[in-house]
Amino acid sequence: MAGAILASKLGVDVLLVGDEESILRELDGFELPVVHAPDVIGMGDDPASGLREKPRSSIVTCARLVRSGDAAGFVSAGSTGAAMAAAAILVGRVAGVLRPTIATVFPTLGTPTVVLDSGANPDVKPEHLVQFGEMGAALSETYFQVAKARVGLLNIGEEKGKGRQLEREAYALLEQAPINFVGNLEGRDIALDKADVLVTDGFTGNVFLKATEGVAALLTQLLMEAISGASPESLAEILPLLEPVGERLDYETTGGAHLLGVKGVVVIAHGSSTRRAVSNALQMAHEGAERGLVERIAACITLG
Amino acid sequence: MAGAILASKLGVDVLLVGDEESILRELDGFELPVVHAPDVIGMGDDPASGLREKPRSSIVTCARLVRSGDAAGFVSAGSTGAAMAAAAILVGRVAGVLRPTIATVFPTLGTPTVVLDSGANPDVKPEHLVQFGEMGAALSETYFQVAKARVGLLNIGEEKGKGRQLEREAYALLEQAPINFVGNLEGRDIALDKADVLVTDGFTGNVFLKATEGVAALLTQLLMEAISGASPESLAEILPLLEPVGERLDYETTGGAHLLGVKGVVVIAHGSSTRRAVSNALQMAHEGAERGLVERIAACITLG
């Protein structure tokens, strides 16, 4: 709730959806419009049956508000599956989009890289990867002032012909697509700013992103243990210098992942989102709507 | 060459294979046995045709020495494809092994984790994953004093039923296999010492490992930039504390990846290997032979 208040103060037109009584209690006098939605689709519920059985859940209500045009998009920190299902079924896909996709914004030394699919589509066909490239480019160009986003294919070698049948066929299609395709990229290239968009299937993308989380956590722990033996004077000097690094790598800075290919700006925030993360997610959704993210996607999609 | 001399001094029975004149020049009087093999299969050559067309190459000669029993294994810092092809075709597979696999030893907070397949088999079947688990467990138990290695399946969620068709079928087979299967693991678990062995297909494994390299490089660079502004006194105290972290994460500590499932101990070192990396690779091959790695694999393989 604190995140919504913060975003509202920063100029985002926020509509709160959920149990009205709880929301009003948490708002504690701060005025924001509320739409009452008493039901909850939990993390353990099956998303599709949750949509059917809980029409008064917050996620179904959010999707209906987008469908009716009363909202430009929604941010959810609840079940990712339910948010995806609600967006795909109730908000609806952009014309031509075969599969809505989850895109994660990954911090690098340069412009952030959009990695997609991050887990919505574990099994894909080559044409899906092409559309992921097109939608990822639209996201990169919308948020990061990139003129013509460089799109790379995540692979296990740089040469054409590398990878599985999926990558070989997708490579040929990506070369033909009206995007700035820069070829195969390897996982280690993520830091080197070789592309603005990294395309892969949802299984590989999810493993890739979680691997980077795991290593970042491992390194941070090893580092902190290593320097814990230093003198208080050195620590007092070093620790504040390290803070901006953590800041830069923190998912809270981007606030969430985008669900692309539906007729609204949908941001999926972490369940454990802090005030800042929620506020950032709301700001991203706001910016996406202002800058016409959905229209850009509608304009660039091919192979539908 | 310096790596071979170092390993020899540490008790490894080294046989050098390559162009005799060059080797003797580099040995500069140090006495090690040399087997003359003047040809080279380059990084750009097709591995299979290289084997046919260059029977006097160092890799073919190494494989023949293992086949004839004159060597227990070999270390190669050349073309991975050529080393794999030579080992699989000339040395031969262990009875029952469907696919030889490349296993990488990954540093963690606890016992190192064996990740396989790391890139030899981009497209696999569920039964291959089971054998990877068996071979990985043998490797872990051989080198890391693990009594009964915990084997996890790399997946995009912890619950049974997650992942692609491949993971769902492999999960069922792994549960039946005579190994200590601990279920699905996610990429972020790598740091948490939840398993000794992490099983996946060669595409995902390769992406996973390179992603961790990329993030480690990114973090190291951000970190060094961040602390570069500190006072000389603090740096003099902090930098030596950080060295063991780099050491621990350095691939040179393990020296290389293992090719498992062939009738010899085969270690594939980085092409850019330093003296220490080569020496470590030779020591690992030596230890693997002493401790009966190949025999352990032969004893544990099922589903052949």
Average pLDDT, chain A: 91
Is residue B73 a part of any domain in this protein? yes
- Contact B301/B134 with Cβ under 8 angstroms? yes
Where residue A205 sits, what CATH number does that domain have? Answer: 3.40.718.10
pLDDT tens column, A76-131 = 988 888 999 999 999 999 999 999 999 999 887 778 899 999 999 999 999 999 99
- 3-state helix/strand/coil string of A235-292: HHHHHHHHHHHHHHHCHHHCCCEEEECECCEEEECCCCCCHHHHHHHHHHHHHHHHCC
* Residue A269 tokens, joined: 């925030």
User: Distance (Å) from the C-alpha of residue B264 to the closest C-alpha of chain A?
Assistant: 26
Q: Which residue of B has its CA nearest to A193?
A: B218
Q: Quote the CA–CA distance of B197 and A76 in Å, as a whole number.
A: 36
DSSP result, A42-84: -TTS-HHHHHHH-TTBHHHHHHHHHHTTS-SEEEE-S-HHHHH
| Structural domains of chain B, count | 1
- Contact B76/B35 with Cβ under 8 angstroms? no
Query: Measured between beta carbons, which residues in chain A are less than 8 angstroms from residue B242?
Result: 223, 226-227
User: Distance (Å) from the C-alpha of residue B159 to the closest C-alpha of chain A?
Assistant: 11
User: Which residue range is the domain that position B46 belongs to?
Assistant: 1-92
Contact B190 A218 (CB under 8 A): yes
Of B190, B227, B242, the CB nearest to A211: B190
Phi, psi of B213 (to 5 degrees): -60, -45
Phi, psi of B57 (to 5 degrees): -75, 160
Q: Which helix (H) or strand (E) holds B83?
A: helix B80-86
Is residue B23 a part of any domain in this protein? yes
Phi, psi of B97 (to 5 degrees): -75, 125
Which residue has 């502004």 as its token pair?
B229
Is residue A187 a part of any domain in this protein? yes
Is residue B240 a part of any domain in this protein? no
Is residue A54 a part of any domain in this protein? no
Is residue B85 a part of any domain in this protein? yes
Which of A204, A187, A128, A108 is closest to A152 using CA atoms?
A: A187
pLDDT tens track of chain A, all 304 residues?
888 999 999 999 999 999 999 999 999 999 999 999 999 888 778 888 888 899 999 999 999 999 999 999 999 988 888 999 999 999 999 999 999 999 999 887 778 899 999 999 999 999 999 999 999 999 999 999 899 999 999 999 999 999 999 999 999 999 999 999 999 999 888 878 899 999 999 999 999 999 988 888 888 888 888 888 888 888 888 888 888 887 777 655 565 799 999 999 999 987 666 888 889 899 999 999 999 999 999 999 997 6
Q: Quote the CA–CA distance of A195 and A198 in Å, as a whole number.
A: 7
Is pLDDT above 80 for B251? Answer: no
Phi, psi of A225 (to 5 degrees): -60, -40
Write the DSSP symbol of residue A147.
S
Asked whether the ipTM of the predicted complex exceeds the cut of 0.95, the reply is: no
Please enumerate in sequence order all residues whose Cβ is within 8 A of that of B76, keeping only pairs 6 or more positions apart, or say none.
Answer: B58, B59, B62, B82, B83, B266, B267, B268, B269
Is residue B60 a part of any domain in this protein? yes
Is residue A85 a part of any domain in this protein? no
